[in-house]
Amino acid sequence: MARARAVERALIARALLLMVAMVSFLASCIESPQSPVDYDAVVVPQGNGSAAIRGWNVTLTHADVALGPFYFCASASGSSTLCDAAVAEITSVALVDGLALGQAPLGRVHGLSGSVQSAAYDFGISWFDTQTSPTPSPVTPGPGHSMQLEGQATNGATGFSFTANVDVVPQYQGQNAFPTAPAMANVTSSAFRLEVRFNPADWLKQLDFDDIANQMATSGSSVFDIEPGSKEHAAILVGIKNLAPIDFVWVPLSTP
C-alpha cells in the first residue's frame, strides 16, 4: 500500500514536471507581456525666443501654444492607417507658454512599456472620426487657434511688429495634424519623463521678411497680422512641420 502511494506520488510529480516543461516550452513562443506605465510629460522651450532669418533679427515676445493630444506608436509610422493602437498617449490638450524659461507641465503619459518609434499629434485642433470637421479644444488660445505669436523683426534701421494666429489643422478626418514624426524610446517602466522640446522662433524660418516689409511699406500699417489662409501662415506651418518640428526625448528618472 505504501509502495503504491509512493508510485502514485512519483507519477503526480512527473506529470507536474511534464506540465511545467510544456508550459515553459510554449511560453518561449509567446512575447513577454507589456506592463502599464504612467509618467509625466513636460514642455521644454528651446532658445531665447530669437532667430536670425536671412538678414532679419526676429524676436518673439509672446507665444501661447496649444499642444496635444499625442499618440506614440511602436511602428515606424504613427499614421492612423499604420498604427491602429498607440502604445502610449497624452489625451489632453495643454496651453503652454512657448517662451517660458525652464520646464512646464504638459500632462501625463498613459500607456504600456515597450518600444516607441513614432508619434502623431495635434496642436489643439483635432479631427477625430466622430467629428464632422476639425475641432479646437476649449483651451486653445484665441480661442480656436493652435497658437498665437507676437514679435518684432528688425533689419538695420527697418523694423516692424507682427502677430500671428496659427491653425495647425488635420488634413483629413481621422488623422492628426502631424500624422507621423520620429520619436525613439524604449520605455521599460514608469520611471521616465517625456520632454517635448521646441523652439518657436525657429518656426518663423520660412517667412519672407523682406516681402513682409515691402507689403507694410505699401500699406503703411505698423503691425503685420498673419492669419490662416495667407502665404505667411503657410510659411509658419512649414516652420512647424518641416524646419523645426517638435523633438521628443524620454529621460530616465534617476533612482532616489
Interface contacts to another protein, rule CB under 8 A: 7, 10-11, 14-15, 17-18, 21-22, 25-26, 29, 75-82, 169, 171-172, 175, 177-181, 205-206, 208, 231-232, 234-235, 237-238, 241-243
Beta-bridge partners for 96: 65
140 vs 175, beta carbon nearer another protein: 175
* Least distance in angstroms from the C-beta of 155 to another protein: 17
83 vs 95, beta carbon nearer another protein: 83
* Least distance in angstroms from the C-beta of 202 to another protein: 10
153 vs 169, beta carbon nearer another protein: 169
* Least distance in angstroms from the C-beta of 152 to another protein: 22
Q: How far apart are CA 131 and CA 125, in angstroms?
A: 11
191 vs 213, beta carbon nearer another protein: 213
* Least distance in angstroms from the C-beta of 173 to another protein: 9
* Least distance in angstroms from the C-beta of 235 to another protein: 5
| Count of CA atoms in the C-beta half-sphere (13 A) of 185 | 26
* Least distance in angstroms from the C-beta of 7 to another protein: 8
42 vs 240, beta carbon nearer another protein: 240
- What does each C-alpha distance from 98 to 36, 63, 79, 89 come to in angstroms? 31, 5, 26, 21
* Least distance in angstroms from the C-beta of 122 to another protein: 12
Can you list the pairs that 210-216 forms with residues at least 24 positions away whose Cβ atoms lie under 8 Å?
210/54, 210/55, 210/56, 212/153, 212/160, 212/162, 213/153, 213/155, 213/158, 213/160, 216/160
Q: How far apart are CA 254 and CA 74, in angstroms?
A: 25
- What does each C-alpha distance from 185 to 123, 168, 182, 255 come to in angstroms? 22, 26, 10, 19
42 vs 65, beta carbon nearer another protein: 65
The position carrying cell 499625442 is 70
DSSP H or E run through 186: strand 178-187
Cβ pair 176, 245 in contact under 8 A:
no
Q: How many helices (H) and strands (E) does the chain have?
A: 3, 16
Q: How far apart are CA 235 and CA 224, in angstroms?
A: 14
38 vs 211, beta carbon nearer another protein: 211
Name the pairing type of β-strands 147-155 and 56-67: antiparallel
